[in-house]
Amino acid sequence: MFMRRRLVAVVLALPLFVSALHSQVTPARDTAPRPQPLPTVRIINRPSDLKRLGGSATILDSTQLTAARVFTVEEALRKVPGIHTRIEDGLGLRPHIGMRGLDPLRSRKVLLLEDGIPFVLAPYGDADSYYHPPIDRFSQVEVVKGAGQILYGPSTIGGVINYISAPIPARAAGSLQLAGGPAGILTGVGRWGMTVGKLGLAVDAIRKQSDLARDSSNGRISDFTLRAQYALAAHAFTFKLNAHDENTRAPYTGLTEAEWAANPRFNPFLNDRFTTRRYGASLAHLLRVGGAELTTTGYTYQIQRENWRQSGNSAQRPNDRSDPSCGGIQNLLTTCGNEGRVRNYNVSAIEERVRAPLPFGVGGDIEFGGRLLWERQDRLQLNAATPTGRAAGPSTNPNSGLVENNVRRGMGASAFVQPRLVFGAWSVTPGVRIERVSIYRQNLLPTPASPNGVSGDTALLVVIPGVGVTWTRPQLTLFAGLHRGFAPPRPEDIINNTTGGTATLGPELSWNSEVGARGRIADGLSWEATAFRMDFENQIVPQSTAGGTGTAVTNAGRTLHQGGELSVTLDRAARPRSLHRVLASVAATWLPVARYVGPRVAFVGTVTPDTRNKVYPDQNGIGTRTRVVTTDNRLPYAPRSLLTASAGYSYGTRVDVRLEGVYTGRQFTDPVNTSVVVPDGQQGPIGDALIYNVSANYSIPGVGAALFITAKNLTDRLVLVDRSRGLMPAMGRVVYAGVRWGW
C-alpha cells in the first residue's frame, strides 16, 4: 500500500515539477504564438537521436512503407532485423510478432504502441494481439530492442514497436488511394487534413477486404480516425478518436496431416466467425517551458470481440463430437454445435512524461514520469447447440450452455526515470522503472467448493533497471546496453479458477544485454550491427506448443538467447546530381543459441490411448509415456536465420521499382525437437522458406496521381507457418494494382 501511494504521488507531482522549472526559466514573449509539434510520444524523437541511443533501433519511414506497397504489419516488420513474424490470415488482423527467438504467438512478448499508447486487449492481463490497427494508418514505425525500452511498459522483454500517425498538414491537403485485385482484394484509404490558425484537423478512413489463406475464408475491416490539434505559444492539445470494425470468416484450427496432403488450403469449418469492434479516445496536452516539455496523456478504449468456432485445434474434429446428435465431423455443418468466446475489454489510463535538459550545466537531458492504468476483462464462453448458433444452447444439450463467466481486473502503477549524461563523445544513460501490478480474478460460475463461485487476487512489485552507453563520432556510434526484462503473468496463469488460490507461476524475468555499432560509410549508405544476449531466469512458454490449446502455459525456467543482427540501407544517386538512384537494403538475423538452460523434461507417447511418438507436457495416469530431458534443446518457433533483402531503382520522384526476398530458416515446434510428425499435424519441423515480393510505382507528372502494382509471394510458394493448432498455411500469391491521388 505504501509503495502504491508513492507511485501515485509521483504521477500527480509531475505538474508541480514543471511549475517549479517554469519559475527558473524566463518564458518567451507571447507576441506571436507559433504552433507546437503534435504532442505524440516518440521513442526516437529524431533520426539524429540514434547517435546517442544506447541500444539497437530501427525507423521505418513513409517512403519505405509506401514504395514497397506494404499490405500487412507483418510484411513491414520483416524489414527490421531481429523480428520474426508469421502471417496467419493475410490481412494483418492478428499478427504473430517475435523478437530474438521469442515465441511470436499472438505478439504477447512484444510491447505494441500507437503514438506511445498501448492498444492491445489488456496491457497487463491479456497482451495477445487479437486486435491490431491497419498499417495503412501510419507514416512511421519505431522499433527499439535495447535499454531504452524501460521508459515504456509493462513488458520490457523483447522490444517495443511504436506506430506513428501522420502529422496534421499545415494547409488543406488530402489523398485517396484505391486498389484491387484477384482473391477478393479491395482497399480504400482516404486521408484529409488542414490547419486554420491554431486549430488543426485530420481524418483517416480505411476499408480493406480480401480472401484469406484458406478456402472459403475472407475478412474485412473498416477503420476511422479523427484527430484535432489546438496549438498555442507554450501549449498544444491533441484529441484522437478511433472506431474499428472487423468481420472475418476464417477457421481457427489448423489441418491434420491427411487434410494437408489432400489440400493445404482446405477449410471444413465454414461457420467459424471472428468479429471485433474497438472504440478508443485520447487527449494529450503538451506544455513547453524553456527547454522542458511535459506531456500529459489520458486515454481509454473498449474492445468487444467474439470468436465462434467448431474446433480449437486439429485434434478436435469437432469439439462437440461427444454429443450424440453431433457424433463427428460428418455432421459438422448440420447438427454439431459451436463454441463462442465472447470478450469485453475496458482500459483507461493517465500518463505524465517530462523531458528536460539537465540542470546546473550538466550536459544531457532527463526523461521521467509515471502512469496509472486500469483494465477490466469480462469473459464468457457460450456453447451453442447448432453450427450457426450465437447464444448459449439449452442445458439439456450435453455440451451447450454457459461454460465460462469470468471477471478479471488489473491495475498497474508505474514510475520511471532515465537521465542521459553527456561527456564529450561519450554518453551514459542509466534508468529505472518500477511496476506495481494488482491482479484480480472472479469466477461467477458455481464450483465444487462454492456454489456462488470463487475469487482471488494478488499483487507484485518489480524494479526494472537499465543502462546504455554510447561513444559517438560524426560517422560512427558504438553502443552497449543492459536492462532487466519483465512481463507480468496473466490472471488465468496465476489465480486458480476453481479455488481462487494463487499459483506459483511468476512474472517473466530476464537480463538483456547488447553491444553494437551504427554509422554511415558514405552519403546514402547507413548500417547497424548488434550482438545480443537474453538470459531468462523464468521464461513462460506454452505448456505444450504441439498441444494446440494455445492457453495452458508453464514456467520454462532458464532459457538463453544469443545472436547477431545486421541492417544495411543504400539510397545513392548513380552519379552526382543524377535523378537515377540505386536502392538496396538488408535486414539479417543470426540466432545460433535459443535453448532451454534449466532442468526441463517432456514425455513421448508410446501406447494407446496416447498417440505414438507425440510429445506431451506431463506423464499420463498409467505411466507409459517415455520421459525425455529437453535441457539444451532449441526453443520452439525460433529460426536460426532470418533475412530480408531488397534491391531497387528510382528516377526522381516519378519511377520506383523494388524486388524483395524474404527468407525464414527452419524451426522446431516442440521442446523435444523431434522431426517425427503425428496425424493431427501439431508436431514436426517447419521447413525453411524463401518468398519474393515486387512493387512498381509511377507518378503521373502534373496531376498529383500515382499508379502502382505489386505482387506478394511472387512464385506462389506454399509456406507452412504454424503447427500449434494443426498445419496452417501462409497466403499464396497476391497481386493487386491501384491509384493514389493527392491534392
* 624 and 649, same domain (yes or no): no
Which residue matches cell numbers 544476449? 533
* 538 and 606, same domain (yes or no): no
* 627 and 683, same domain (yes or no): no
Q: Tell me which of 587, 614, 631 is where a domain ends.
A: 631
Which stretches of the chain drop beneath a pLDDT of 70? 1-40, 45-48, 504, 541-556
In this prediction, residue 554 carries a pLDDT of: 58
* 162 and 285, same domain (yes or no): yes
* E strand segments, 630-671: 641-651, 655-664
In this prediction, residue 34 carries a pLDDT of: 39
* 478 and 576, same domain (yes or no): yes
The amino acid present at 700, given as its one-letter code, is I
Q: Tell me which of 631, 656, 687 is where a domain ends.
A: 631
* 575 and 621, same domain (yes or no): no
Q: What is the DSSP letter of 400?
A: -
* 159 and 129, same domain (yes or no): yes
In this prediction, residue 23 carries a pLDDT of: 37
Residue 226 makes CB contacts below 8 A (sequence gap 6+) with: 201, 202, 203, 240, 241, 242
Going by their DSSP bridges, the two strands 728-729 and 273-289 should be labelled as unpaired
Q: What is the DSSP letter of 654?
A: T
In this prediction, residue 265 carries a pLDDT of: 97
In this prediction, residue 441 carries a pLDDT of: 97
Give the Cα separation of 686 and 588 in Å (integer).
20
In this prediction, residue 538 carries a pLDDT of: 84
In this prediction, residue 42 carries a pLDDT of: 81
In this prediction, residue 11 carries a pLDDT of: 43
* 611 and 465, same domain (yes or no): no
Give the Cα separation of 130 and 88 in Å (integer).
12
In this prediction, residue 45 carries a pLDDT of: 67
The amino acid present at 688, given as its one-letter code, is D
* 21 and 108, same domain (yes or no): yes
CB atoms inside a 10 Å sphere around CB 46: 9
Give the Cα separation of 474 and 528 in Å (integer).
15
Which runs of consecutive H residues, i.e. helices, occur in 145-256? Answer: none
| CA dihedral sign of residues 87, 91, 94, 98 | positive
Q: Tell me which of 631, 653, 680 is where a domain ends.
A: 631
At 147, give phi and psi (nearest 5°): -65, -20
- Which residues constitute the domain of residue 609? 598-631
Q: Calculate the alpha carbon distances from 550 to 255, 378, 542, 664 in Å.
A: 15, 19, 7, 23
Q: Is 216 helix (H, G, I), strand (E, B) or coil?
A: coil
Give the Cα separation of 73 and 93 in Å (integer).
9
**CATH number assigned to the domain comprising residue 393:** 2.40.170.20
Q: Calculate the alpha carbon distances from 35 to 201, 290, 294 in Å.
A: 13, 15, 16
Cβ distance 554 to 540 under 8 Å? Answer: yes
In this prediction, residue 51 carries a pLDDT of: 74
**Type and span of the H or E element at 710:** strand 705-712
* Residue count (the chain): 743
Domain total of the chain = 2
The pTM (predicted TM-score) of the whole model is 0.93
Q: Quote the Cα angle for 269-324-683, to 5°.
A: 45
Which residue matches cell numbers 513462460? 540
Going by their DSSP bridges, the two strands 559-573 and 580-596 should be labelled as antiparallel
- The per-residue pLDDT for range 168-199, each reduced to its tens digit, is 999 999 999 999 999 999 999 999 999 999 99
The x, y and z cell numbers of residue 675, run together, are: 522431426
The x, y and z cell numbers of residue 591, run together, are: 540466432
* 196 and 284, same domain (yes or no): yes
Give the Cα separation of 318 and 378 in Å (integer).
26
* 564 and 679, same domain (yes or no): yes
Q: Is 11 helix (H, G, I), strand (E, B) or coil?
A: helix
At 167, give phi and psi (nearest 5°): -65, 150
DSSP lists the bridge partners of residue 662 as 644, 691
* 609 and 517, same domain (yes or no): no
Give the Cα separation of 292 and 288 in Å (integer).
6
The x, y and z cell numbers of residue 719, run together, are: 509456406
